[in-house]
A and B are shown apart, each in its own frame.
Chain A
Amino acid sequence: MIESILKFVEANFKTLFMITVFPGLAFIFGFLIFAVWFERKYLARLMVRMGPVHCGKVLGWLQLIADAIKLITKEFIVPRFSLRLLFFLLPIILPVIPAILVVLIPYAKDYILYDAGGNGLILFLALATIYPVLSMLIGWVSNNKFTIIGALRTIYMDVAAEIPIVLSVLGVVILAGTYDLVSIVEAQRKIWFIIPQILGFIVFLIGYLGMTERIPMDFPVAEVELVFGVKTEYTGPLYLLMMEADYINWLAWSLLLVVLYLGGYNGPNIFGNETISGIFWTLIKLFIVMVVILTVKISYARLRVDQAVRLGWRVLIPLSFINLVITILLKYYFPGLWGG
């Protein structure tokens, strides 16, 4: 019995390692702890504050653990007039969706958990659509005015951001000639797609801000009018799950941004091992994206719903069509540059 298990582990060591450590559970939890801590600390510094200091002696690095412990040990309340079962179940399902997205991403040339038979991009975009819908459902079952307005706004946001994203991603697909995420990264060996696809990148970035609910496109969770958006009624452990889902979603979309436009794992082979340096470069780029997004968060105002939807339909969609035309011309005149 044990021998067979050991044999199984030996044979599938890499897969198991990927599921449990990187990019699986351990990585996701590590990212959560780091991202929330880093956000609080970085924003606090920009606000000329200190942020958490005393928890865990050095730079308040244990702050997130303390928060998690507190939230887990708190009472959780299910409001009387909500749909109780769904109210309880949906937040548990919610973090799973972005977690699946995370494992679709290639971290090095031969380091990908599931490549979806060369259709990774399509699977990613298809699964990512579920997240706002679940989010909307959560707002609806909570049966609170603020969550219901938040739910409506989630749908507005979905309408405003999702279609431009898909259209702008088409440019990348045309250049690389494939839906396979590994091949897309390989196609960026010579030039990162941010240069030929600069229009598409801008459209994608704005859509990305919407899908991850970050300023200036974070109107579904606008705390000045909606308290916490769809999260308003959640307490304790369930609230923790919702927060987690939020950050994992951010991680997944940031990784997609890195893969599509910033050259993915491409970079100098500094460790003498392609896999390790690939992972290294992916994470470095991820970190840079995070810093940029947080800086944007602190320097801009939030768009109103109608303004955001107008931006999506009147500006972003025409822009992405122009981008498509440019892409086709580029592909036609310089076919050799894009690896495919």
Chain B
Amino acid sequence: MVSLEEKLKSEFGDAILEFKIPKDNRIVVKVSPDRIVDVAYYLKNEGFDMPISAGAVDYMKNNVFEVFWIIWSSDKNIVLILKTDISRENPTIQSLVEVWRGVQKFERETWEMFGIDFKGHPKLKRLLLPEDWDYEKEGYPLRKDFSLKPYTVEK
């Protein structure tokens, strides 16, 4: 696993912002958003082939969205968390559907819940929210500035 870190750093240099091994079978890699597709392809060739999940976290104080993909390696049995930070004002990121086809639905959900635009995604269509949901009026539900107060039942 140490070798993977070295390999990544020698291949991509400064694009690898962070490399952590919090416990057995876990790797956390943080990359800069412009090299995300290259890193993803590289990792796929390293054996990380099955997408498990993808999503985002809203860090309102730092004014960033942290987008993450969780990938499993079928022969090494390691879970990899691939992360990247994008700005909150202009949330666009390259989609990884071309690398791992299975992340399609997760990216679609993230687009819907956060308003993050995944470039190159084949089907950004509403999935979970009702048809009459109005983003202008109601906002994106999983962002931190979305309040549940108007929906709460009065006691």
Q: Let me know if chains A and B touch directly in the complex, using CB atoms closer than 8 Å.
A: no
